[in-house]
Amino acid sequence: MRHITPKTRAKSGANAPKTRAKSGANAPKTRAKTRAKTRANRIATALAMAIALTIASCGTPQKIPYMVNAEQIPLYQLEQYATIYEAKIMAKDVLTISVNTTVPEAGAPFNLGSSAGSMAPGQLTPTNIPGAKLQTYIVDKDGYIDYPIVGRINLLGLTRTQAQDKIKNAIHPAYITEVPIINVRFENYKVSVLGEVNNPGQYTVANEQCTILDALAMAGDLTIYGKRNNIMLIREDNTGKKQIARINLQDPNQVLDPNIYYLQQNDVLYVEPNEKRAKDANLGQSERYALSVISTLVSVTTLLVTILR
């Protein structure tokens, strides 16, 4: 055990004032460092919150789903409204018509084409000449086409199958003895998609069947600014009369209405912008950028004042 002598106590007592004086001198520096560190942490926190706020304000909002709860539609309803859509011929449609027979010369008079004047024997129809194109027929306002040999044929309101049967009965057996194979195709089956979609434009449909969802898919889907519950469908009938309908893509019952779900040739879909997009359209690009910067600065300033107060 160490013995403390009077000399040791005297020495310790002499050093105590120096230690307290040194500690007292360092205390202001320590408190200053602590305050500076606390302030730095607050500024870092404020900046992090401001960055998070900015990212959140610029982030993509949650996409609105289509056909909400469509799986809840009873099966019997889906079966009741099930149908295979067939397009009907309308005024101003452009058609190609081919007549195929085992003897090419028999169908040649009905297969007029761009290469008809330069055909070699045994190849008297554009249907078996590479690169040859069949003549197209425009349906007039009364529904007629002028067909070779036969003359005027009314095809208005007929499906492809019905038109093929009518043409076949017109040329057999009156003009050829063999029962021909007739093929009628639409050349201008198009739909237009405008407004708040990623790729607006006019699209040609090869299989002559197009649903609302098919058209929107071809146009790259709606943007986040498009109104999914109020899409305008513009349709023209055989008399030239315009019909306008509103489509709610969030309503699953839309799939049950074939007149809405399936588009006709020359239909136009217009996707309206939402309120935010409409308001932004009134501002120029520089104005929108300035408002964004000002909004961010105000948010940062408010956070700094609140935290550092």
- Is 101's pLDDT higher than 60? yes
DSSP 182-200: EEEEES--EEEEEESBSS-
pLDDT at position 73? 86
Q: What is the CATH number of domain 94-186?
A: 3.30.1950.10
pLDDT at position 25? 55
pLDDT at position 253? 87
In 3-state terms, what secondary structure has residue 114?
coil
pTM: 0.65
pLDDT at position 15? 54
pLDDT at position 181? 95
Q: Which residue has the higher pLDDT, 273 or 18?
A: 273
Q: Looking at 105-114, 235-244, 250-259, 286-295, which range is the least confident one?
A: 286-295
Nearest CA-CA partner of 247 in 265, 234, 266: 234
- Is 139's pLDDT higher than 90? yes
Task: Please name the residues in contact with 81: beta carbons below 8 A apart, sequence gap of 6 or more.
Answer: 255, 256, 257, 258
Mean pLDDT computed over every residue of the chain: 79
Nearest CA-CA partner of 97 in 193, 223, 181, 39: 181
Residue-range domain boundaries for the chain: 75-83+189-273, 94-186
Sign of CA dihedral 114, 116, 122, 127: positive
Q: What is the CATH number of domain 75-83+189-273?
A: 3.10.560.10
